């Protein structure tokens, strides 16, 4: 079912054709055929990927992509053992955005879609004023309350409860999932690139994947993946007013308290306990069994079984010592 809700790319195109669109220089084979745009970790033969973050430089030696968009500076500075073709760009992220518009031109279309491919189980309870858009499947004994909008491109499993005024699009939702009033699932993530004069929207073509036994509170927002999945795994419980950005993965049985924000492409492990108003920076890894105190600001990876607090977050014992020392310094004055 997941394949049925993922955007399908146009093409294929030769690398030479793509270079004409982006106005970039080719290094390597210009006649190779590119079928899709992929992230560097999930690329396959026939994919083109891009690199503009030094955290992923080493991945170029293991990626299965056929080509990569890269800057002249990175290409000259780092040695790559894997044979790849390159589009050499002054702004790789901008070139990547241009290619997404070529492979997925319909993503930004404002044309009103006809309602089609709607499958609702006979045992489901869908309120009369729910707006069902195209490519929607609703499973056995699922309940959807008033003024919610479902679709396009949504699969909802069995025994789910969707509250009032919920908006779900571009999402796969498993079984026994609860989504409370006012939450928005599967809308575009926050992706923009500066072209030198103004910010250009980067198309978002991925989905949200929510596994079984997940509960999402009221007024939460979970953005669709930019290329692949934003994923909420089995048994996760999310409080009210939580924002989860594109490409985030939240591991099994993790608890997230209210007003927390997790920036794009961060991975949260299993059995993590996250207090209220926590902020987590992008492209980080929080390992399994971590506890994060309320109002913490996480700016670095956190290792397994750690207990952290403060901004920037540190080991809880260190945080408590800092608090005592700061209090003593203030009192001495």
Active site residues: 246
- Pairing state of beta strands 33-34 and 13-14? antiparallel
What's the CA gap between 239 and 219, in Å, rounded? Answer: 9
Segment (H or E) for 16: helix 15-22
Contact between 99 and 72 under an 8 Å Cβ cutoff? The reply is no
What's the CA gap between 9 and 106, in Å, rounded? Answer: 9
In 3-state terms the chain splits into helix, strand, coil percentages (rounded to 5) of 20, 30, 55
Segment (H or E) for 327: helix 316-332
**In terms of Cα–Cα distance, which of 331, 333, 308 is closest to 319?**
308
- State the maximum Cα–Cα separation within the chain, in Å, rounded to a whole number: 73
- Pairing state of beta strands 136-138 and 154-156? parallel
What's the CA gap between 202 and 206, in Å, rounded? Answer: 12
Segment (H or E) for 93: helix 92-103
Q: How many CB atoms lie within 10 A of CB 32?
A: 18
Locate 273 and state its tokens: 């306990």
What's the CA gap between 263 and 187, in Å, rounded? Answer: 15
- What is the separation of C-alpha 128 from the centre of its chain, rounded to a whole number of angstroms? 32
């Amino acid at each position: 079912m997941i394949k049925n809700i993922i955007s399908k790319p146009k093409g294929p195109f030769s690398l030479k054709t793509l270079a004409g669109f982006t106005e970039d220089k080719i290094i390597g084979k210009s006649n190779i055929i590119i079928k899709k745009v992929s992230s560097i970790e999930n690329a396959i033969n026939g994919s083109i990927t891009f690199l503009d973050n030094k955290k992923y430089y080493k991945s170029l030696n293991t990626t299965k992509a056929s080509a990569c968009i890269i800057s002249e500076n990175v290409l000259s500075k780092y040695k790559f053992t894997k044979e790849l073709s390159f589009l050499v760009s002054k702004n790789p992220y901008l070139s990547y955005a241009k290619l997404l518009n070529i492979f997925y031109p319909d993503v930004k279309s404002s044309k009103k879609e006809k309602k089609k491919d709607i499958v609702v189980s006979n045992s489901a309870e869908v309120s009369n004023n729910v707006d069902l858009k195209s490519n929607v499947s609703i499973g056995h004994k699922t309940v959807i309350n008033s003024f919610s909008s479902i679709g396009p491109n949504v699969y909802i499993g069995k025994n789910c409860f969707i509250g009032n005024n919920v908006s779900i699009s571009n999402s796969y939702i498993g079984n026994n999932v609860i989504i409370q009033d006012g939450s928005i699932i599967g809308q575009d993530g926050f992706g923009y690139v500066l072209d030198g004069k103004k910010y250009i929207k980067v198309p978002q073509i991925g989905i949200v994947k929510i596994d079984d036994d997940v509960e999402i509170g009221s007024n939460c927002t979970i953005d669709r993946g930019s290329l692949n999945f934003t994923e909420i795994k089995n048994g996760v419980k999310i409080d009210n007013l939580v924002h989860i950005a594109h490409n985030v993965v939240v591991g099994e049985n993790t608890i997230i308290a209210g007003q927390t924000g997790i920036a794009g492409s961060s991975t949260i492990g299993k059995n993590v306990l996250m207090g209220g108003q926590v902020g987590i920076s992008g492209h980080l890894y929080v390992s399994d069994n971590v506890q994060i105190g309320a109002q913490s600001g996480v700016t670095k990876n956190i290792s397994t079984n750690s207990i952290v607090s403060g901004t920037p977050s540190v080991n809880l014992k260190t945080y408590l010592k800092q608090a005592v020392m700061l209090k003593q310094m203030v009192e001495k004055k």
